[in-house]
């Protein structure tokens, strides 16, 4: 009855479990899937997230399976360099920026939690269907998987919903919220085995949404005689038609390759790179309008269940990781569980609201938008004739401050 009940064993739920265990706060994690497998594509962990994971003793293991990202580079669709800046330790941060396969990250977190807290502290095949509470605790009801008919109830001190954008707890708290908000951009995501490009640890953003945009970065080091890295990519195109979200929907290269057919750069043949993908997934770029509150008595939301954001700042997983630290700290500093959840919300709700809204309008790739608009989508003679270096730096640094990973923010 003293356990904190964590709903969902994704990045946020596992990080919270590790943080609570390290703090001596008993918890159990309940996961909908019958088996946790290393699925997905690439994500980035920015320095504010790797700092929290390093504090949990995970930096060395992450470094073993990830790429330490060294630079961000921006190109127009003609392959002309717009802007480049160092990232992570190359930029003077105390902690690295990691590009990593989502499945690799989840496995590092999963194995660490099971080794430290015990395998019996994570229970699979438990799909949350609802939560009730009284003055002494919570009762969380589960079915045996998403389609299961068998029901069970678990009791605890508080319930933390880490069950993502489809959160059953969020739907219970906000039954009239409706579907996620479509940004007007559709994404095709894939991974390709390819020779290292640019620095071999670059995060590339190129093009612009109305004519096609690419995000490209390696997520596993080269292995074997072929010297090929596993490289994550995202193709984004403004698309009026909204197709319902489904993380596992296969994508068809023919549906989007036309936007990139003439992208033949001196460092990458983009259409050949796309066609060499191991597999392709399709997903609409969606988020939800920020909520007025997350915490209701002994129940609160965390990560994508609290603040789903469009993935245009490499920041969704990072914010869930920061949430986990903030919630753990609040529970340590407040003897009363209700006060702790309120304090956690007070620290994190406004900050994440700013990020959700900024990701819609001025994420880091706003640099691409500015150049696209100022050049009318034409090649330039010199980037300094289009936009100054100071403006480019200001766009980049402004997002870092809002997202909480500027050097000044991390030092404070």
The stretch 205-232 carries a mean pLDDT of 92
For 356, the token pair is: 């959700």
> How many structural domains comprise the chain?
1
* Tokens found for residue 350: 């406004």
Q: How would you list the strands of the sheet with 277-287, edge to edge?
A: 81-86, 71-75, 202-208, 212-220, 229-238, 181-194, 277-287
In a domain, 194, yes or no: no
The position carrying tokens 């706003």 is 366
For 301, the domain range is 4-67+102-179+289-361
Q: Is residue 309 part of a domain?
A: yes
Res 39: pLDDT = 78
User: What pLDDT score does 291 carry?
Assistant: 97
| Dist CA 122 CA 114 (whole Å) | 7
56 domain-assigned: yes
pLDDT of residue 240: 84
Q: pLDDT band at residue 118, thresholds of 50, 70 and 90? A: very high
Can you read off the two tokens belonging to residue 395? 């766009």
Q: Are 67 and 98 in contact (CB under 8 A)?
A: yes
Give the pLDDT score at 410. Answer: 83
The pLDDT assigned to 246 comes to: 67
Q: What is the DSSP string of 370-400?
A: HHHHHHTS---S-GGGTS-HHHHHHHHHHHH
| pLDDT for 279 beyond 80 | yes
| 212 is a domain residue | no
Domain presence at residue 396: no
| Of the candidate ranges 25-34, 122-131, 220-229, the one whose mean pLDDT is the lowest | 220-229
Q: Is residue 132 part of a domain?
A: yes
Once rounded to an integer, what is the mean pLDDT over residues 262-286? 94
Q: Residue 201 above 80 pLDDT?
A: yes
**pLDDT classification of 386: cutoffs 50, 70, 90:** very high
Mean pLDDT across the stretch 365-383? 95
The residues with which 84 forms a beta bridge, in sequence order, are 73
Instruction: Give a yes or no: residue 62 inside a domain.
Output: yes
Each residue's pLDDT tens digit, 126-151: 999 999 999 999 999 999 878 888 89
**Average pLDDT of the residues in 32-61:** 92
- Mean per-residue pLDDT over the chain, rounded: 93
What CATH number corresponds to the domain at position 296? Answer: 3.50.50.60
pLDDT at position 277: 95
DSSP state of 199: T
Cα separation of 258 and 187, whole Å? 14
pLDDT (0 to 100) of residue 304: 95
Mean pLDDT of 282-311: 95
167 domain residue, yes or no: yes
**Binning pLDDT at 50, 70 and 90, where does residue 37 land?**
confident
Average pLDDT estimate for 365-379? 94
Percentage above 70 pLDDT, the chain: 99
Residue 200: the pLDDT is 96
* Exposure string over 29-55, b if 16+ CB within 10 A, otherwise e: bbbbeeebeeebbbbbbbbbbbbbbbe
Measured between alpha carbons, how far is 387 from 383 in angstroms, rounded to an integer? 6
């Amino acid at each position: 009855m003293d356990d904190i009940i964590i709903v969902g064993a994704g990045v946020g739920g596992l990080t919270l479990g590790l943080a609570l265990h390290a703090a001596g706060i008993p918890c159990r994690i309940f996961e909908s899937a019958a088996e946790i497998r290393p699925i997905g594509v690439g994500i980035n962990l920015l320095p504010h997230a790797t700092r929290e994971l390093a504090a949990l003793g995970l930096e060395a293991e992450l470094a073993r399976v990830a790429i330490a990202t060294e630079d961000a580079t921006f190109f127009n669709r003609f392959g002309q360099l717009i802007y480049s800046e160092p990232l992570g330790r190359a930029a003077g941060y105390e902690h690295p920026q990691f590009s990593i396969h989502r499945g690799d990250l989840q496995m590092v977190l999963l194995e660490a939690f099971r080794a430290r807290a015990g395998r019996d502290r994570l229970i699979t095949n438990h799909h949350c269907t609802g939560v009730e509470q009284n003055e002494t605790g919570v009762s969380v009801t589960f079915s045996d998987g998403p389609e299961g008919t068998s029901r069970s109830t678990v009791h605890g001190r508080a319930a933390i919903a880490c069950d993502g954008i489809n959160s059953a707890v969020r739907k219970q708290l906000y039954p009239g919220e409706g579907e996620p908000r479509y940004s007007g951009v559709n994404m095709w995501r894939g991974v390709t085995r390819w020779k290292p490009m640019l620095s071999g640890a670059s995060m590339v953003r190129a093009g612009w949404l109305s004519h096609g945009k690419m995000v490209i970065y390696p997520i596993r080091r080269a292995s074997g005689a072929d010297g090929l890295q596993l490289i994550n990519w995202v193709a984004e195109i403004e698309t009026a038609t909204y197709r319902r979200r489904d993380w596992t929907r296969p994508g068809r290269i023919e549906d989007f390759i036309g936007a990139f057919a003439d992208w033949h750069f001196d460092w990458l043949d983009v259409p050949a790179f796309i066609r060499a993908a191991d597999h392709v997934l399709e997903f609409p770029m969606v988020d939800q309008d920020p909520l007025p509150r997350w915490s209701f008595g002994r129940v609160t939301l965390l990560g994508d269940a609290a603040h789903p954001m469009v993935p245009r700042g490499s920041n969704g997983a990072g914010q869930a990781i920061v949430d986990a630290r903030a919630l753990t700290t609040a529970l340590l500093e407040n003897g009363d569980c209700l006060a702790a959840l309120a304090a956690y919300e007070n620290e994190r709700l406004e900050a994440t609201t700013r990020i959700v809204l900024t990701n819609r309008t001025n994420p880091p790739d706003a640099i691409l938008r500015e150049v696209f608009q100022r050049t009318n989508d034409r090649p330039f003679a010199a980037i300094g004739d289009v936009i100054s270096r100071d403006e480019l730096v200001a766009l980049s640094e402004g997002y870092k401050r809002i997202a909480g990973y500027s050097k000044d923010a991390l030092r404070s």
